């Protein structure tokens, strides 16, 4: 990992060419469908806990949903919920629309009330061409793991796979979160296959990555995060113990410059 001037460039960017690609604001009354394609998925216990595709004619129901509501404090938010026997309640953004050699700025304002071990709250999900013989992978994710005292699973990790097709995902940043508190995340993804990088903002401040192997630190993680195609996904996915999970999504913005997400993430330009 190395320091570069991408942060400085982002802060100084004032080009009129900035484009907001995706925008969801619960306070503005936006429908969650503004995020893109809804993904719901259940578990087939009789088949060895393999996931079941959600039937095309089956709408969200009381067991699994991503819908506008108000959080426990009365603030407008999308309530994301999945019961213990469900694997996925997400929205898939920019489906088949992301491009190579592009920088995406992703803003995410969210509160978590219940999370299971290994629940993913954000995925930068890659989809390979089946003819290439590769499986789908997740080059980056925000995922919950065990707390330091081992009692619960409220520590969120930024995990990334820097080698697109053959690497292993590692944890480069962690933060113990308080359930019922609102947080903001800013995720920057550059999809160059030769000089790609990712960076992270937490509550408006740049996060520092720590390589768990080399112990090197940096505010940008270099790598190829765009094997063939990769799209952002938000909500609740997976979980090892099949517990009911709940989160509240207030805002999601995806743009082409840092200023597109600054208000949502709390970044002072």
The pLDDT of residue 232: 98
CB of 86 within 8 A of CB of 243? no
Instruction: Work out the average pLDDT over 227-254.
Output: 92
Per-position b or e across 163-172, b if 16+ CB within 10 A of its CB:
ebeeeebebb
Q: Where is average pLDDT lowest: 93-102, 160-169, 200-209?
A: 160-169
The pLDDT of residue 9: 45
Model confidence band, residue 176 (pLDDT cutoffs 50, 70, 90)? very high
Summarised one tens digit per residue, pLDDT across range 4-43 is 445 444 444 444 456 999 999 999 999 999 999 999 988 7
User: Which token pair is 179?
Assistant: 């359930």
The domain at 21-265 falls in which architecture? Sandwich (2.60)
Phi, psi (degrees; rounded to nearest 5) at 260:
-65, -30
User: Which token pair is 161?
Assistant: 């796979």
C-alpha 115/C-alpha 93 separation (Å) is 22
234, pLDDT greater than 90: yes
148, pLDDT greater than 80: yes
Rg of the chain over Cα atoms, rounded to whole angstroms, equals 18
CB of 232 within 8 A of CB of 124? yes
Beta-bridged to residue 37, according to DSSP, are 92
Indicate the SS3 state at residue 120: strand
Model confidence band, residue 46 (pLDDT cutoffs 50, 70, 90)? low
C-alpha 238/C-alpha 41 separation (Å) is 10
Instruction: Work out the average pLDDT over 67-84.
Output: 96
């Amino acid at each position: 990992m190395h320091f570069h001037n991408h942060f400085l460039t982002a802060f100084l960017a004032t080009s009129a060419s900035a484009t907001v690609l995706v925008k969801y604001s619960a306070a503005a009354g936006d429908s969650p469908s503004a995020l893109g394609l809804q993904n719901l998925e259940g578990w087939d216990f009789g088949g060895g806990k393999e996931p079941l595709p959600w039937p095309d004619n089956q709408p969200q129901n009381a067991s699994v949903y991503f819908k506008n509501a108000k959080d426990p404090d009365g603030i407008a938010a999308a309530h994301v919920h999945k019961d213990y026997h469900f694997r996925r309640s997400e929205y898939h953004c920019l489906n088949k629309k992301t491009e190579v050699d592009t920088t995406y700025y992703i803003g995410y304002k969210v509160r978590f009330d219940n999370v299971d071990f290994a629940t993913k709250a954000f995925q930068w999900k890659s989809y390979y061409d089946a003819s290439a013989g590769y499986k789908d992978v997740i080059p980056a994710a925000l995922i919950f793991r065990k707390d330091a005292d081992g009692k619960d699973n409220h520590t969120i990790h930024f995990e990334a796979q820097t080698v697109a097709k053959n690497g292993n995902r590692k944890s480069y940043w962690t933060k113990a979160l308080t359930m019922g508190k609102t947080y903001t995340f800013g995720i920057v993804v550059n999809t160059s296959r030769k000089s790609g990088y990712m960076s992270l903002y937490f509550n408006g401040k740049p996060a520092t990555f720590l390589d768990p192997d080399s112990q090197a630190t940096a505010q940008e993680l270099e790598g190829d995060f765009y094997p063939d195609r990769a799209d952002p996904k938000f909500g609740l996915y997976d979980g090892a113990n099949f517990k009911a999970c709940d989160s509240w999504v207030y805002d999601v913005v995806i743009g082409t410059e840092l200023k597109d997400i600054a208000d949502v993430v709390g970044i002072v330009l």
